[in-house]
A = this chain, B = another copy of it.
Amino acid sequence: METRRKFVQKGLLGIAAAGLAGRAFGADAAGNSVKAGTAKPVGFDLAIAGYSFVKFGLDDALAMMKRMDVRYLCIKDFHLPLTATDAEIAAFHKKLADSGVTGYGVGPIYMTKSKEEIDRGFDYAKRVGVKLMVGIPSQENLAYISEKVKEYDIQYAIHNHGPEDKLYPNATTVYEAVKNLDERMGLCFDMGHNTRDGQDSIKDLERYKHRIFDIHFKNVTSPTKDGKTCELGRGVINIPAFVRTLQKIGYKGKCSIEFEKDMSDPLAGLAECKGYFQGVMDTLA
C-alpha cells in the first residue's frame, strides 16, 4: 500500500512534468482510474514547425504554444535571423525558456545558390546550439554538405516539398540523394507533401526510418497535388497508423506540426492538431 501510494504521488507530480511526451494511466489510492505520469515517456515529443507562425512575431507564437502546452519549436529565420548576434541568440533562448519552450532545431533554410549559404547555415546552427538543421540544398553540393556534417557533427535533414518541387518532391528523392553520404544526412520528412506527391507516407516512414531525423507532421485533404493542409483528423493520411509505425521503428525525433491552413488565425487548428496527436498517443500508450 505504501509503495502504491508513493507511485501515485510520484505519478500525480509527474503529470505536470510529463507534458505531451508520454502519459500512463493508473489508479489512485482508492482504486479509481485516474491518470498518472510516468518517469519514462512512452510517446513522442510534439513540436511546432516555426513556419506555422509565419504571420506572427515570436511573442505571439510563444503565447500560442503556451496556451496549447507544446514545448518544442523548430526555429525559423523570421524569428531568429541568420545574422543574429550571439547576444541576440542568448536573448532568444531565454525568451523561449521563459515560456517553457525549447528550440530543438533550425530551418527549413534554403541554401541552393552557393557554398557560402551552406557555410552560413552551419555557422548559424552551431551558434544557435542545435544538433539538427532542416535544409533545402542543391544536389551538386550534397557531398560538400556531407563534409560539413562531419565537421559540425550535426544532423542535416532535407525537406521534401511535394509535386511542385523540382529538387525534392518526395521522400524517395531525398533518400536516393543522401543514402551514400554521411549517416547524419537525411530527411525532414514532410508527410503531407509526400502524400500530395502520390506517395505512401506510412510505407515511406518505415522504408527510410534510419534517415528520418525530423517530421513535418500534418495531414492533407487529398493524395494529389491539389491536396491542402488540414487538421490532423480531417485528411487522407491515417494518423493512428502513422503513429503506430513511429512506435514500430522507434522514432527518436520530434513530430513537428506544420499547419498551413488559416495561417492568419492558426490557433484553433493547431490546438485541434495537438489534441488529436495526444489522443492518438494516449490511446496507444
Contacts and interface: CB of A to CB of B under 8 A. Distances in A.
Interface stretch (A27-35, A111-119, A150-158): A27-35
Contact of A279 (B31, B223, B233, B237): B233
Contacts of A223: 28, 32, 34
B268 A35 contact: no
Interface string A204-247: 00000000000000000001000000011111111111010000
A25 B284 CA distance: 17
Contacts of A28: 223
Contacts of A202: 33
B35 A238 contact: yes
Interface of A, secondary structure class, is: helix
A112 to B, nearest CB: 30
User: Interface range on chain A: under 10, 10 to 19, 20 to 34, or 35 or more?
Assistant: 35 or more
Copies of this protein chain in the complex: 2
Contacts of A237: 33-35
A7 B23 CA distance: 37
Contacts of A231: 275
Contact of A272 (B68, B241, B285): B68
Contacts of A67: 268
Nearest to A36: B236
B236 A35 contact: yes
Contacts of A241: 25, 33
Contact of A198 (B30, B243, B274): B30
Interface in A111-136: none
B25 A238 contact: yes
B35 A232 contact: no
A121 to B, nearest CB: 34
A266 to B, nearest CB: 10
9 contacts: A34-B237, A68-B268, A68-B272, A232-B275, A233-B278, A240-B285, A269-B271, A275-B277, A277-B279
